[in-house]
Every structure is written in structure tokens, then in C-alpha cells.
Chain A
């Protein structure tokens, strides 16, 4: 399977614990995105990488959240001191696309990591 993969698929944690999720994009894709989807809502943009550079972050990404893409391949999203409001599906997407048609580029999504904070 050469699609976007995410691990773990499910994570249950207690409030105050730290969690880390991993995303492996499609191998030739240089752009990687993180989104968060709460129950009954559409996904919301969190952050964007081109290669290893984090170029955009949403205001939703509080200082408890950090994302990395150290070698421009896989990415990790860490949440420190989790809160119950962090419970959501965390989605990763990647794209390659044509820089001249950036707004039209398809993003390929992984299956997501569902986080439950007790």
C-alpha cells in the first residue's frame, strides 16, 4: 500500500499525559499537512510542511502542540499535557502537485489517529 499511513490508529490517554502521533506520507510528496476533526465537524487545518520546513501554523495549534518533519519524510505531532478538549481525530495529508496550480492540488489523506483523553 503506497498511501498515507498514520500510527497509532487509536490512542487513549489520561488527562495531563503527553502523546505523539506519526504520519508517513506518500514517498515522493514534499508537502505534508495536519488537520484535526472533532465529532460531527469537518476537519480543521493545523499546520503545513514543505520538506522539513514548517511554513504555516493555525491559531488552533496552541503551545502544547508541536509538529516536526525532521528529514522531510515522516512527520510527528506531539501534544503535551493533554486535555479532554484535545479528543479528536488527527488527520495527516500529503501532496506533490504543480506549484503553478497550488490551490488546485489534491491532498491525499491518511486514515487518521483517533485520540481519546479521559
Chain B
């Protein structure tokens, strides 16, 4: 079975400083990996996804993630945090299921606090 582990349950950063959210995955084959963000009272939103086309993936709002097979990692970064980045972030592994559906397995989440 595939799984993801988010290494930090909470991350606190100052506005304008870099953000690093760590994720390790477990998969017996080449994984499909996503990062989703969840703002309070809003639905989950896709930030970016790894599709094996490139190891460095750029997403929305200045976020990017690097796939490292040797480290089984897919860490999310942003060079400069903004107050609006305060939210919960989920690392997700996707596997194909019947009739070309896909089942998402979420990590435990990392809550990001941005200090002014």
C-alpha cells in the first residue's frame, strides 16, 4: 500500500521568510504525488502535482516541490511566505482504481502559521 508521512505537524514562519514543508512517501512503483492546501472554511485546493515529467514542479502562489526518488521525498517550498499562506497543507499520493478513477491517500497535514 502507498502512504505519505508529513514530518512536521506545525510550522511557524515569519512573513517574507522561506517555507519548507517536508513529505516522505512509500510506494512500490513510481508514485503520483500532489500537494493540496486547505484554508479554513474552504475546500481543498490543488497546489501542484508530480507526473514524472520533471522532478521540480512549480505550482500556484509561488510554491514548488522537488521529487527525489533516492530520498523518497517530495518537499514543498516557497521562497517568501505571505500572510495568506497560513493554512493546512497536505501531501498526497494518488493511485489508479477501477475505471480510471484515482484514490487519494493523504498525509496527516502540516499547519502553517505566518507571523507578521
| Residues of chain A whose beta carbon lies under 8 Å from any beta carbon of chain B | 3-4, 31, 33, 35, 40-45, 48, 50, 53, 55-56, 91, 93, 95, 97, 99-112
How does the 8 Å CB contact mask read for B41-63 relative to A, with 1 for contact and 0 for none? 11111100101000000000000
A45 to B101, alpha carbons, bound, how many Å? 12
Identify which of B43, B46, B100, B106 contacts A102 (C-beta below 8 A): B100
- Summarize B's interface: helix, strand, loop or mixed: strand
With contacts A55-B97, A55-B101, A102-B96 taken as known, whether A110 is within 8 angstroms of B109 at the C-beta atoms is no
- Number of A-B residue pairs, CB cutoff 8 Å, is 86
Contact of A103 among B94, B107, B109 (CB under 8 A): B94
Residue tally, chain B, CB below 8 Å to A: 29
Asked if B107 and A42 sit within 8 Å, CB to CB, the answer is yes
Q: B91 to nearest A CB, angstroms?
A: 9
Closest A-chain residue to B4, C-beta based?
A42
